[in-house]
Amino acid sequence: MPSRRSKGGLLARVNFPLYTVQMVTNRHILVGGGGGSSKTGVANGFEIFELSHNGTHFIAEEVTRHETGPSVVMNCVSHRSDNKTWIAVGQESHCQLYNVNSKLVTSENGELIKGPTATAHKDGLRHRKISEKVEELQKEKIEEIKDNNSNVKNKKLQLVLDPAGSVQTTFGNGEPLQRVVRVNIQGKSMATGGTDGKVRLWKFPQLDKLYDLDAHGKEIDDIDFSPNGNLLVSIAKDGKAFVWNIETKKNRELSWKPRDGIKYMYKRCRFRKLTENEKKNDLFMLTNAVTAKNPSFLQLWDVNAGVITKSAPYKETLSALAVSNDGKFVAVGTMFSGSVDIFVAFSLRKALHVPGAHSMFVTGLEFLPTNSQLNGVAITSNTETAVVSISVDNRICIHSIPFRHTLPFWFVIILIVFCICGAFMFCSYLGI
């Protein structure tokens, strides 16, 4: 499939509404969604794109498309450990685990040549070319071979997804639905939350059940592990937020008193990655007022102290949240205007505002990695940070902040001294 150049922030379009976005490697991003179980003709599934930067624009190239039948993809998470990359995808009441592998395939004139290396797998995946190799093959040049007809054949590295197991994570009457899935940084535990109001812990990647955390009375909206993996935060439609100790299974509630008794509901939560010298656990949360006339908030919590340290008000309902892997930036998506904002994490100073990034509400945000935390080498670009946004408008967009050009401190001092000396000399020349 041809590469797609970013115009006005647009990376690509797909043919189904999007609900989840996740980086798989430092260069590959997964988007998922669909039209649901109703027979609307809208597919359910996910697509994986390879991202690159040509010096001016970000470019997305489709790598893999996987359709999930009647099951819409509402959430997903990726994790890399022990030289393996995993993707856990929420499909209705179940969580499907995939093992991500790399594979060399041969292409001719931009299309894959059918054969043993390019046949569809039993899981129905359809694989397509990508332009660069990952891991140890990342820096190798694409090999060109000419056949008897002088047609150029290129060896490309693909991502191949192999199903590795499935488990039901949400139960209850009606149509149970997994709402969120997260894996801790250590890669030992997976947490899921769904419409039955329970948070469940699983051994990862074996998917063996560990235990349930039962404190919410309504469906779970979001969960997240702390960077050290010892804490888990859960928020739900009952308006409560709990911090769980994974080892002791004890919890404590995060609460605050809004002015004038206004009622608020937590919407999203994400921990900020700690630096080497930090011991506190910073948590970002989106909090929406029950009545639209009241402001919503992006809040920064000190979880250890259980207090809000900083807050940024909004005039509309908030829908999506992401934190960069270096902990420097946080991004927020809105419900009504489809706007995207990027803040400096420490001060909550707004660094970028993209009004109307989408024609409908923002359903997901994901920062591009700035280091080799994931599989492969990070994308080299002229930006300090970049975040991918998705929506039910079927659009995948990217928003970036260029590097801020600053003068070295020593040069500034020399310049000040030079200006002062010049001023004295000028005054002496005028006899002042």
What pLDDT does residue 136 have?
41
- Res 140: pLDDT: 40
Q: What is the pLDDT of residue 372?
A: 54
pLDDT at 92: 92
Q: What is the pLDDT of residue 142?
A: 34
The reported pLDDT for the residue numbered 211 is 95
Stated pTM of the model: 0.81
According to the model, what pLDDT value does residue 420 have? 87
Q: What is the pLDDT of residue 415?
A: 81
pLDDT, position 33: 95
Write down the pLDDT at residue 380. Answer: 77
Task: Delineate the domains of the chain, giving CATH numbers in brackets.
Answer: 4-415 (2.130.10.10)
Alpha carbon separation from 123 to 67, 111, 120, 290, 372 (Å, rounded): 9, 21, 8, 43, 30
Q: What is the pLDDT along the chain (432 residues), one digit of tens a residue?
A: 333 334 458 999 999 999 999 999 888 999 999 988 766 788 899 999 999 998 889 999 998 999 999 899 999 999 988 788 999 999 999 999 999 987 766 655 545 443 333 333 334 333 333 333 334 433 443 343 334 444 444 555 578 889 999 999 999 888 899 999 999 999 999 999 999 999 999 999 999 999 999 889 899 999 999 998 999 999 999 999 999 999 999 999 999 999 888 999 999 999 998 766 667 889 999 999 998 789 999 999 999 999 999 999 999 999 999 999 999 999 999 999 999 999 999 999 999 999 999 999 999 999 999 865 555 677 877 889 999 999 999 999 999 998 765 556 676 688 888 888 888 887 877 777
